[in-house]
């Protein structure tokens, strides 16, 4: 029996940030340009043209939703984990520039 489990991978934050579709309750957002109201099935941002490879969820997600996006060619990630590291990295850059 196959199930979905979260695993750890080392990956560049900028790669994710530039190709992340953030799924909300009703629609989605491009993380790169923050365009909201994007259909959840979109492969490309209609505003900035970013190609979506990753999908993160602002809500609790079911295995059926993960399965759906997997079959659409997306890599699912824990949005909270990503956002925490993204903000930490951004703050580090600001303080290193001072």
Q: What is the pLDDT of residue 98?
A: 60
Q: What is the pLDDT of residue 95?
A: 77
Task: Provide long-range contacts, Cβ within 8 A and 24+ apart, for 23-32.
Answer: 23/55, 23/56, 23/57, 23/58, 23/59, 23/61, 23/65, 23/69, 24/58, 24/59, 25/58, 25/59, 31/56
Averages of pLDDT over each 10 residues, the chain, 98 residues: 83 94 93 96 95 94 91 94 91 76
Task: Please give the model's pTM, rounded to 2 decimal places.
Answer: 0.88
Domain limits of the chain? 13-97
């Amino acid at each position: 029996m196959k199930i979905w489990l979260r695993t750890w991978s080392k990956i560049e934050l900028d790669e994710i940030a530039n190709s992340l579709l953030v799924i909300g309750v009703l629609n989605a957002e491009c993380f790169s340009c923050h365009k909201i109201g994007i259909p959840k099935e979109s492969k490309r941002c209609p505003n900035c043209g970013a190609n979506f490879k990753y999908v993160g969820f602002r809500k609790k997600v079911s295995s059926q939703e993960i399965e759906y996006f997997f079959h659409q060619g997306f890599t699912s990630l824990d949005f909270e984990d990503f956002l925490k590291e993204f903000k930490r990295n951004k703050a580090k850059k600001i303080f290193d520039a001072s």
